[in-house]
Copies of this chain bind each other. A is one copy, B any other.
Amino acid sequence: MTQTLHTPRATGQAAITVDLVILTIRGGELQALLIERGNPPYRGQLALPGGFVRDSETLDQAALRELHEETALDGRQLHLEQLRTYGDPHRDPRQRVVTVAYLALGPNLPVPTAGTDAQAAGWHPVGQALTRVLAFDHSTIIREALERARSQLEYTTAAAAFCPEPFTIGDLRQVYEVVWGFPLDPSNFRRKVTRAEHFLRPTSEHRVAETGRPAALYRRGSAQLLHPPLLRAGARARAQFTAAALR
């Protein structure tokens, strides 16, 4: 027990790692950063980036460090949160490894440099990533991360973490559409996010696109939570109805 801990024994000892589900939007698609394993087990298979937690660092610090090693970004610009911990005794065939999974959302992240262990790292559309067999229990982790990300968009302002500043309301709407996988009404979406307090900070600038009226540019506001939430339920019902009508 935490309370007694008379003697340090093998019981309860495990290696601690952090694994990162790093999501970004590239080419109008939601993509996740995956590495190709260079060593057994699961050699040659895709896996989430991650690594050991060092003796001197907190779990959050370990996640930030791994994030920096993989994407050369510091955590100040993006959304990073603990997702869940996975500790099945046989999730790693070699020894017991308990991994704390983190979810990171970032804007237009760069093509990753070659990993420190000469592992190829690259972006993969999450749709593909979900159908592939990943190493360890990483398929489960990425599936739960995607659901968390979708849910975060409902109740928080996390969607703005996907947008490089400054951004338009159209950019922000595209984030929702790509992550949720169905279209939103542009008019109602605008009304919703502009009325939410401190979600968007207006600028006086505009962006001239290839075509169409120039769009006003915004920056991220101070709000973390979205009140009231922007729920998928109604829109999803409509999308399902549409999908049913097409069958």
Interface, chain A (partner B; CB < 8 A): 1-6, 8, 10-17, 19, 35, 37-39, 47-48, 50-59, 82, 84-89, 92, 94-100, 117, 119, 135-136, 227-229, 231, 233
Contact = CB atoms under 8 A, between A and B. Distances in A.
A5 B10 CA distance: 19
A153 to B, nearest CB: 14
A1 B82 contact: no
A16 B11 CA distance: 9
Nearest to A151: B155
A237 to B, nearest CB: 10
Given A2-B99, A10-B55, 12 more contacts: A1-B17, A2-B92, A3-B38, A3-B47, A5-B39, A8-B15, A16-B16, A58-B87, A82-B84, A85-B100, A98-B100, A229-B229
How many copies of this chain does one complex carry? 2
Contacts of A92: 2, 5
Contact of A12 (B15, B19, B135, B228): B15
A132 B6 CA distance: 26
B51 A1 contact: yes
Contacts of A100: 85, 87, 98
A16 B56 contact: no
A115 B13 CA distance: 23
Nearest to A94: B5
Contact of A16 (B12, B19, B94, B229): B12
A1 B52 contact: yes
A16 B15 CA distance: 9
Contacts of A19: 2
B89 A11 contact: no
Contact of A15 (B5, B94, B95): B5
